[in-house]
Structure 1
């Protein structure tokens, strides 16, 4: 396994009022304008004695997903990390994480 294959990215992004923290082996700018592609999600080993319910929820949500497209304005941070951490979902409560302002939706009346 080359150094490039061993790279692990920690991607933090906003999704429906929650902050997702995931680990993946590949990320890149998408051909779809304004999106980031996340591939090869990495989760902790299931052989551990303690199982984190948050990580299991994420594992179930991304099971069978080959590639995920995340809007660039939803990305909070991307880090290259030395070792795998615990994937998690947390509530986006004010403070340091503020959603990008979007234009109002047109009135459909």
Structure 2
């Protein structure tokens, strides 16, 4: 990974789609997770403040490293420079679904 690389990570989180930017991402030693480090947000010197980005900035303010489940990842892009981080609600009309998961609490079929 180059020091100048920036990654755009798009993932599901609580029925919302998060789009964040980070300088370091890699497969975690914890099976099934992607590690995201060195979050990148817009500069505070900008006159226009995006409330969505500010919400994300405060949510990840004290986070050194985030572990995102692989099945929550929609897409990871390496980009030239970071954009605006944002959170979007999933609309009923959008064709977006998470990877099927059957955990220990899922009902079992009789077939």
Alignment coverage as a number of residue pairs? 105
Aligned: 1:43 with 2:41: yes
Q: 2:83 aligns with which of 82, 85, 93?
A: 85
> How many angstroms apart in 2 are the aligned matches of 1:41 and 1:96?
28
Coordinate RMSD, CA, aligned: 1.6
Deviations 1:59-100 (A, max 9, x none): 000001100000000000000011110000001225242122
**Alpha-carbon distance change, 96 to 78 in structure 1, aligned in 2, over 3 angstroms:** farther
Any unmatched runs of 5+ in structure 1? none
TM-score, normalised via structure 1 length? 0.90
Q: 2:3 aligns with which of 2, 5, 19?
A: 5
TM-score, normalised via structure 2 length? 0.89
> How many angstroms apart in 2 are the aligned matches of 1:84 and 1:34?
26
- Return structure 1 stretches of 4+ with deviation > 4 angstroms: none
Q: Pairwise mapping of residues 23-102 of structure 1 onto structure 2 (< 5 A)?
A: 23-94=21-92, 95-102=94-101
**Alpha-carbon distance change, 106 to 99 in structure 1, aligned in 2, over 3 angstroms:** closer
Deviations 1:14-52 (A, max 9, x none): 001000000000000000000000000000001100000
> How many angstroms apart in 1 are the aligned matches of 2:36 and 2:6?
11
